[in-house]
Copies of this chain bind each other. A is one copy, B any other.
Amino acid sequence: MAPLGIGLIGTGYMGKCHALAWNAVASVFGDVERPRLAVLAESSQDLADIRARELGFERATGDWRALVNDPAVDVVSITTPNAFHPAMAIAAIEAGKHVWCEKPMATTLADAERMLEASRRAGTVAVLGYNYIQNPIMRLIRSLLTEGRIGPVNHIRIEMDEDFMADPDALFFWKSEASSGHGALDDFGVHALSLLTILVGGVRRVCGQMARPYVDRPVEDGTRRAVETFDIATMLVELETGASGVIALNRSAWGRKGRIAVQIFGSRGTLVFDQERMNEVQLFVADGDPRTRGFRTILSGPDHPPYDRFLPAAGHSLGFGDLKIIECRELIGRIRGEDAMVIDFESGIRIERCVDAMARSARSGTWVEVAT
């Protein structure tokens, strides 16, 4: 197979992550051709030139439409603000390109549905950037669940907490505007839903509450402006399997930095994970000598592929960026027709529909079915 030609739109933090992943994927895995970093697009030609040099791209452009239609480009990485995703993704798809689009799909469910339709029509690969599912420890959890190590799952709890909205004295900015979405729910809760999806499947119905820790925030002119989004969201859920669960999201949780705490309860054991210690998982299984049962802390290692592609010894820690490299390898695998662990637009739309149901439920104060 000829090297894939890569086009990258957007070079913020996530764009850099994509560039690093495209750069590293062949070296790390050794079983794919080094991609050609063909074209990079930014908002201006000048900025694009600078970034292309830094990130190792051959050419640069100030016009993302040119990139999308460039014959040297096989895959388009889209890492721009969420509002731009639909237009860029659909254009790329319609130009016959594969797409690697950052999450969430779009800022409205309608836009996301349009992206899905475009993807279905084109038949190219369209994948979303849900990197947390790529953690080798998360794959271990998934394998253990599949193998029945803790028995059928009957209950799940997911908490996702950070503190970037925790300071009540921080100035009002766009994340408190209704136009940015619901708040914690879609801003970062979708990550929690991506884990739910790959670990225990879909959500049948939800009953939620969204809350504002601070009703208003200071504005630069000395006045205060009402907060329109919800920094806290808590959801009761019923899964398609019949299991019950609860999801709690808080982007104003002082001291939490990247917490995604997952607790999965089965008839034979329990699994516990926290993203802040992403190289560990805790497993309790109700077997063996009763005197020595306990939660065991398993450290990520070569027994948990593809950790072995990065490091030969356990306990030496993968990082956030490494997950993006794995995601990149999975995307290439999907393009090559291999069995790959990705959240494509088909799976991604279910997350978006779940978010939509949760927001409606919080407004109505009742249980709401998730559309299928």
Interface residues of A (CB under 8 A from B): 13, 16, 19-20, 23-24, 26-28, 30, 34, 53-56, 140, 143-144, 149-151, 154-155, 157, 159, 162-164, 166-168, 207-209, 211, 213-214, 232, 234, 236, 238, 243-246, 248, 250, 252-259, 265-270, 275-279, 282-286, 290-299, 301, 303-304, 310-322, 365-367
Query: Considering only CB atoms, which chain B residue lies closest to A246 in the complex?
Result: B234
Across the interface, which residues of B come within 8 angstroms of A266, CB to CB? 254
Known A162-B315, A290-B303; 13 more pairs at CB < 8 Å: A24-B24, A34-B53, A150-B254, A155-B250, A157-B159, A163-B286, A234-B244, A234-B246, A254-B270, A282-B294, A294-B297, A318-B319, A319-B322
Q: CA of A366 to CA of B99 in the docked complex: distance in angstroms?
A: 42
Q: A54-B26, A317-B278, A365-B367 are in contact. Are A265 and B252 (CB under 8 A)?
A: yes
6 A-B pairs within 8 Å (CB atoms) are namely A164-B313, A207-B236, A254-B286, A257-B316, A317-B318, A319-B322
Which residue of B214, B312, B321, B365 contacts A267 across the interface (Cβ within 8 Å)? B214
Query: Considering only CB atoms, which chain B residue lies closest to A365 in the complex?
Result: B367
Q: Decide: A311 and B322 in contact? CB cutoff 8 A.
A: no
Q: CA of A290 to CA of B298 in the docked complex: distance in angstroms?
A: 10
Q: Decide: A16 and B27 in contact? CB cutoff 8 A.
A: yes
Q: Decide: A13 and B312 in contact? CB cutoff 8 A.
A: yes
Q: CA of A140 to CA of B292 in the docked complex: distance in angstroms?
A: 9
Across the interface, which residues of B come within 8 angstroms of A157, CB to CB? 159, 248
Q: Decide: B276 and A255 in contact? CB cutoff 8 A.
A: no
Q: Decide: B13 and A211 in contact? CB cutoff 8 A.
A: no
Across the interface, which residues of B come within 8 angstroms of A26, CB to CB? 54-56
